[in-house]
Each structure stands twice: as C-alpha cells, then as structure tokens.
C-alpha cells in the first residue's frame, strides 16, 4: 500500500482547484440531483446512520471537517483511516458524500493518492457508481426487501 500524505497536506490541497475537479464538480452534482430525486421517500437520517455504522465496522472514522473544494475526502495513514465530510451541507449531501467516500475506501484505498493519479477521473466515476449501488441497496433494505 502506498503511503498517503499527512492530513494537513490533504486539507491544504483540497483548497486548490485541481485539473480533474471539473469532472468531480459537474458529475457529482448530477449524481447528487439523481440521489435527491430518487430517495425522497427514504429516511436519509437512517441511511446516514447505516453508512456511519458500515464505516465503523471497517474501522473507518467519519468526521466533519472544514474542506473547501470537495464535499468529502478519504485519508489514511497506516491502520488509521478517516473520511472527512465537509461541514455546512444538507443531509442529502452528507449521505451521498459519505457513500461516495466509502466507495473510494472499498475500491481504491490500496491505490494511495488517487487525486494525483492519472486515473483520477476513472476512480471518481467508479466511486460515483458504487455509491449509487450502495444507496440503492440501503433503499431496498429500508423498504423491507432483501438486499
């Protein structure tokens, strides 16, 4: 596993506009809109709680932090893994951002610094699709179906 940058460097770099952020801003807004339309019937508080519980099961700490350009970020140093969620968002944004960052954890944590990677856009697309699948699964469970 690649060693990741210290948290202060990650937070500092989140203030910079990265070339690949154009994808992230455009498409994450699209996925956010789709989430809000599709899951209006859901108790998003319970979904957020389920996502936090999932993170805890995998020893991932969920914390709120003052991130400026991203809605969330995954940070790790050895065994310590933190998902930072931007403060001052609505509940739908918290839910989607946490699902997206959990997707990065499950799919890309072993890749190291994915923001600086040549495959950053691909990793973001994968995390968006996986977040949608995770939220779909939680929606089915919330309705009482098997997932």
Query: How do residues 75-130 score in pLDDT, each as one tens digit?
Result: 887 788 999 999 888 888 889 999 999 999 999 988 888 888 899 999 999 999 99
The rounded radius of gyration (Å) of the Cα atoms in the chain is 15
What was the pLDDT predicted at 116? Answer: 87
- 16 - beta bridge partners? none
Collapsed DSSP state (helix, strand, coil) of residue 62:
strand
- Which SS3 state, helix, strand or coil, does residue 117 take? coil
């Amino acid at each position: 596993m690649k060693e990741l940058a210290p948290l202060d460097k990650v937070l500092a770099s989140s203030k910079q506009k990265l070339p690949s952020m154009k994808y992230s801003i455009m498409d994450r807004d699209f996925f956010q809109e789709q989430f809000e339309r599709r899951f209006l019937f859901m108790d998003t508080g319970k979904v957020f709680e389920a996502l936090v519980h999932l993170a805890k099961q995998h020893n991932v700490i969920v914390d709120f932090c003052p991130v400026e350009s991203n809605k969330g970020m995954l940070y790790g140093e050895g065994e310590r893994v933190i998902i930072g969620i931007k403060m001052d968002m609505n509940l739908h944004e918290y839910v989607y951002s946490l699902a997206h960052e959990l997707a990065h954890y499950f799919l890309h944590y072993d890749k190291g610094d994915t923001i600086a990677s040549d495959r950053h856009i691909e990793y973001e697309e994968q995390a968006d699709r996986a977040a949608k699948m995770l939220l779909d699964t939680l929606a089915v469970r919330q309705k009482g179906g098997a997932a």
